[in-house]
Amino acid sequence: MKKKTILELAAPAVVASSALAASLRLFDYAFKRVDYIPETSADKQKYATAYYHYVDWYKQIPKEKWVLHPDDLENRLVANFIPAPKPSKQTVIISHGYKGDGETMANYAQLFYNLGYNVLLPDDRSHGESAGDYINFGWLDRLDYLEWLNKIIVKLGTDSVIVLYGASMGGATVEMMSGEKLPPQVKALIADSGYSSIEAELSYLLRKQFHLPKYPFVPLVSMINKRRLGYYLSDVESTSQLSKNHLPILFIHGDKDVYVPHSMAFRNYDATQGPRELWIVKGASHVESFWLDPVRYQNHVAHFLTKYLVTN
């Protein structure tokens, strides 16, 4: 009887220890830096030839390397700047997706280049050439992008016209930037396949990919993140940031997205306070909208921007 009581008392501690160990593994799996670009999902392998065509263009196009905090090895950030084909005051900052880098956004870079924009392609913290050990899913990146904005304005002038564009994690980064005090040069935002909150996104993926419940894993991962990066996952909400936004914003999302469900696009759309448009692309999986019809995608983006920007 006494032995059974000891086992019963020990059981919760064993379960808690196992849950914590599993949460530590989940945190490392999802948040730890990797120094390679993971292979794209199977549904987008058919676009590989077209993708590498854009990458070849990106590698050949003249560009400048910009650096923030060059002497601080722990906070050094790198971006590549592609001047417009003709001198222009219009610049787009393109925010890349999870475990990507600026180069992986080559197709969007060419899109905006063709529209006459200068293009800035940062590598976010813990991605590409930028420093960092853990991915922050846009929450700290949004503050870094404020520094990139200031660098653009210093380099190109106070009469700059700036657009923020992002896809997937980059889309959420743009959405989270929207709640900050942005310089008046920022005129419009475009977010493709951004999540409404990292807590909701992690809970969704845990259930879908690993068949695990939100509790106790998400709260434990959140506690680990607080110790490693200084904030709880509940702090990372696109919707709360969008509720402070008054700039025009275009949301793009595929209705077949099983990575970031398109219901999140409706939550983000409902949250924002600025002029807004929502384009749900039929048949598109996660960040597939461009690849289904690049010309249509470019035309849709251009049409949105002509409403709010003065071309030069």
Distance CA 175, CA 197 (A): 10
β-strands 77-82, 64-68: how paired?
antiparallel
Distance CA 52, CA 136 (A): 28
In a 3-state reduction of DSSP, which class is residue 121? Answer: strand
Q: Which residue, chain included where needed, has tokens 């899109």?
A: 111
Considering the domain 41-197+236-306, what is its CATH architecture?
3-Layer(aba) Sandwich (3.40)
β-strands 249-254, 186-192: how paired?
parallel
Segments making up each domain of the chain, as ranges? 1-32+198-229, 41-197+236-306
Per-residue DSSP letter, 139: T
Check residue 311 and give its pLDDT.
46
- The CB density around residue 26, as the number of other CB atoms within 10 Å, is 20
Check residue 310 and give its pLDDT.
55
pLDDT in tens, 183-239: 999 999 999 999 999 999 999 999 999 899 999 999 999 999 999 999 999 999 999
Check residue 43 and give its pLDDT.
86
Mean pLDDT by 10 residues, the chain (312 residues): 46 60 95 92 92 98 98 96 97 98 98 98 98 98 98 97 98 98 98 97 94 94 97 97 98 98 98 96 98 98 90 43
Check residue 109 and give its pLDDT.
98
Bridge partners, 63 (sequence order): none
- The CB density around residue 286, as the number of other CB atoms within 10 Å, is 23
Bridge partners, 167 (sequence order): 192
The reported pTM is 0.94
Buried-exposed string 82-111: b where 16+ CB fall within 10 A, e elsewhere: bbbeeebbbbbbbbbbbbbbbbbbbbbbbb
- SS percent in the chain: helix, strand, coil, step 5: 45, 15, 35
Contact yes or no for 255/225 (Cβ under 8 A): no
Angle at 154 between CA 149 and CA 159, to 5 degrees: 85
